[in-house]
């Protein structure tokens, strides 16, 4: 997998590290490439629902962030990213050792960027697609991040 330039990886990682929700969930970035970001979420009771599957909220959250940061890898310095909308289909119960969300830019733009979202449940023996979707993001002037 191709890596993004070092300065892009640093900018994406620094922004990700300021996201309270991703920290709360225990998610981490596993790959930052040009137009593609992978986010991993280990299984733990705090991110599951009543049947022991990963909660749809956790699944959707890491998908949203993976797509957002995939778009952000292509944005110029001095800009930021916000989600305009996203749609996700839950395809199968999300169970495994971890989830891996993959955000991939399918249509970059000066203002709006479209991404494909995929989430896989991962075990030592299998990698199963459990969610798929699409997202629209907007490029904005950089604003202070907390």
Report pLDDT digits (tens) over 121-143.
999 999 999 999 999 999 999 87
Structural domain boundaries enclosing 24? 6-141
Q: Is residue 130 part of a domain?
A: yes
Helix (H, G, I), strand (E, B) or coil at 121: strand
Domain count, the chain: 1
Q: Is residue 146 part of a domain?
A: no
Tell me if 41 sits within 8 A of 58, measured CB to CB.
yes
Q: What is the pLDDT of residue 144?
A: 74
Q: What is the pLDDT of residue 11?
A: 96
Q: What is the pLDDT of residue 39?
A: 98
Q: What is the pLDDT of residue 146?
A: 66
Q: Is residue 78 part of a domain?
A: yes
**Which tokens go with 35?**
């137009």
**Which tokens go with 133?**
């979707």
Q: Which helix (H) or strand (E) holds 129?
A: strand 127-141
pLDDT < 50: residue spans in the chain = none
Q: What is the pLDDT of residue 116?
A: 98
Q: Is residue 1 part of a domain?
A: no
The CATH number linked to 67 is 3.10.129.10
Tell me if 145 sits within 8 A of 17, measured CB to CB.
no
Q: What is the pLDDT of residue 1?
A: 87
Tell me if 60 sits within 8 A of 25, measured CB to CB.
no
């Amino acid at each position: 997998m191709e890596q993004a330039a070092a300065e892009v990886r640093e900018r994406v990682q620094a922004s990700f590290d300021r996201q309270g929700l991703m920290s709360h969930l225990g998610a981490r970035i596993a790959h930052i490439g040009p137009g593609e970001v992978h986010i991993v979420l280990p299984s733990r009771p705090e991110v599951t629902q009543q049947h022991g599957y990963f909660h749809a909220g956790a699944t959707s959250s890491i998908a949203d962030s993976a797509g957002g940061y995939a778009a952000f890898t292509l944005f110029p310095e001095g800009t930021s990213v916000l989600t305009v909308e996203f749609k996700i289909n839950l395809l199968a119960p999300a169970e495994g050792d971890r989830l891996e969300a993959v955000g991939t830019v399918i249509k970059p733009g000066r203002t709006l960027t479209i991404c494909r979202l995929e989430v896989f449940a991962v075990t030592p023996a299998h990698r199963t697609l459990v969610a798929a979707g699409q997202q629209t993001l907007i490029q904005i002037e950089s604003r202070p991040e907390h």
